[in-house]
Copies of this chain bind each other. A is one copy, B any other.
């Protein structure tokens, strides 16, 4: 009902701090409710500011959502940067561990991010697709660098599609895992790893 901090002292934050705070609140709300069930007023209320301020920082509600998605995609890509020079099989396990760590600690952002898939308009979708493309590229590069897969990779037209599909696989598994973790992190990791190797294997 009331603001986060009591209404007695109206805090005045710097532009960046306020933006950050609003995006964090947005990530939580967008992770729990579909896009159009999140009211801009609700975000402002939880953040302890007025509706107007939100529109001062973000032109429209869509832009606000896009900013939440973009912020989360950046965090995700930053946390799961590839480690070059390591065999793909091994690197995959490590990368998946990092990924699952990210999913676990930033569950809200992760869920909010993946809402952009089906709920977004052109703008949001573009941000989302760019992030997915970056992940795909990351995976393809890691695979191509490994002598086990690299050489045969370029000859197959379905590899790109396979990687995209695998990302959807991993996403679905992780979202379900967050819902109720009936499997251990290691089991999830191995399942996803097995899936990728199964698709790109001859």
Contact = CB atoms under 8 A, between A and B. Distances in A.
Interface of A: 33-37, 114-121, 157-158, 161-162, 164-173, 176-177, 182-183, 187-188, 191-192, 194-195, 197-199, 201
B191 A176 contact: no
What's the dominant secondary structure at chain A's contact region?
A: helix
A197 B201 CA distance: 12
B119 A119 contact: yes
Given A35-B119, A195-B198, A164 B182 contact: no
Given A119-B119, A173-B164, A182 B201 contact: no
B161 A177 contact: yes
Contact of A195 (B33, B35, B172, B195): B195
